[in-house]
Homo-oligomer: A and B are copies of this chain.
Amino acid sequence: MELRRWPRKNDAESIRARQEVVRGLTDDGEVLWDELSPWERANEALTGVAVIPVSVIGPLPISLGQYELREPDGVVAETGRGLEDVFVPLAHTEGGLSASLYRGARAAAESGGFRTYVLHDRITRASCFVCKSAADAVELASWLDAELPSLQAWVAEQDDPSLSKRARLREVKTHVVGPMCHVLWRWTTGDAVGANMMTRNSYVLNMGYVLERAPVPIERSLLEGNMGGDKKPSFEYFQTGHGKTVIAECTLTDDAVRRVLRTTIDDLLELAWVGTHGAVASGMQSVAFTPASAIAAIFAATGQDIGMVGTSSMAHGAGRRVDGGLNVSIRLPGLEVATVGGGTTLPYARSWLRLMGCAGGGKVYRFAQIVAAATLALEISASAAMATAGSENFFRAHHERGGLR
């Protein structure tokens, strides 16, 4: 069959046609489900399914903040806080991961639980206007820098149906390089990740406002000039955030470190010191152990965009001895999570979101915090395993028992 004749639609006949073509190529046809209609709008050229096993770990005790976006500045403001027990679903096939996260969660539970904070909420579409000179690009940038209130008012009053009302323009940041005037449109998008809604709105802004009123001629307008951070880690968003910026922390007691994690605070601190310098030495942006493992597992279970695992797992962890034990924390600057839209309302995903009390509107900050706490749980346990496994004492003990097995 030629590529150009491949049926793309998701009507029953097209699905069957594709299934017939590929059936002999698959292992046993188990993937070619008859009933794919729940997903007919999620994925063109639907042909079958992937099934990933899900563990549930919990309950994790988390002190969760309640947050709301303060108007008109769009600051994330904490309005309350409560300790809750949460079960976390993990979809993956990495033996040991769930057990390790569970161990980290127990250590935290014995130390008073996790505390989580949402610091920031923005998503950015970075358009670029190419001018004929840097002079013009500089003038365009100056104009845009001062235009925010007008831009916001203009968007609000359009009744263009392609515009999303939920996406609200919060800030504009310009960055001129030669004749390029990059413009970072920063939006909030409610409980959705909002990639599509900010894209549509940015397009309308570019076309209907900027090109119409710009004080200089614009030779080319590009909707995204790669300063927007979509699915590619960058320093810009490691620092300023893409999606939700969240911190989870816990102060592990000496006792929990010793009994549950079977290591010591000193060992963990030595590991943190080595690991931080190792990250620097290898040009690693994040300082952390394995945040992507936890984030990917929750994303896969809950219908998140797993293409965003890389950006969402940018992480900055830190550990410090304090009164009462070892304070450990992780900062996830670009957690791109949703509780509405995308895959979140589809079968299976919606169930796993509901398990956490995170399905639907008004839940996204809660969900972001739970992801952060689960990520920290895994960091704690994985670090503990690394901190002791290689030590000389460990080695000697093994040797005395008769080998390295």
Contacts and interface: CB of A to CB of B under 8 A. Distances in A.
A149 interface: no
21 contacts: A27-B350, A43-B92, A43-B98, A47-B55, A50-B352, A51-B51, A127-B390, A130-B270, A132-B322, A177-B281, A178-B247, A178-B317, A179-B329, A180-B277, A207-B395, A208-B404, A221-B392, A222-B271, A234-B279, A239-B282, A296-B305
**How many copies of this chain sit in the oligomeric assembly?**
4
Interface in A281-308: 281-293, 295-297, 299-301, 303, 305-308
Contact of A56 (B47, B75, B275): B47
A99 interface: yes
A54 B328 CA distance: 39
A384 to B, nearest CB: 12
Interface residues of A, number: 186
B220 A327 contact: no
A164 interface: no
A29 interface: yes
7 A-B pairs closest in CB distance? A310-B310, A235-B283, A93-B343, A226-B278, A178-B318, A39-B53, A234-B284
B208 A278 contact: no
A343 to B, nearest CB: 3
Given A47-B55, A405-B160, A284 B138 contact: no
Nearest to A218: B392
Best-surrounded residue of A219, A223, A403 (most CB of chain B within 10 A): A223
A233 interface: yes
A166 interface: no
Interface string A327-338: 111010000000
A105 B2 CA distance: 11
A147 interface: no
Contact of A309 (B285, B289, B307): B307
A120 to B, nearest CB: 10
Contact of A176 (B119, B303, B307, B320): B119
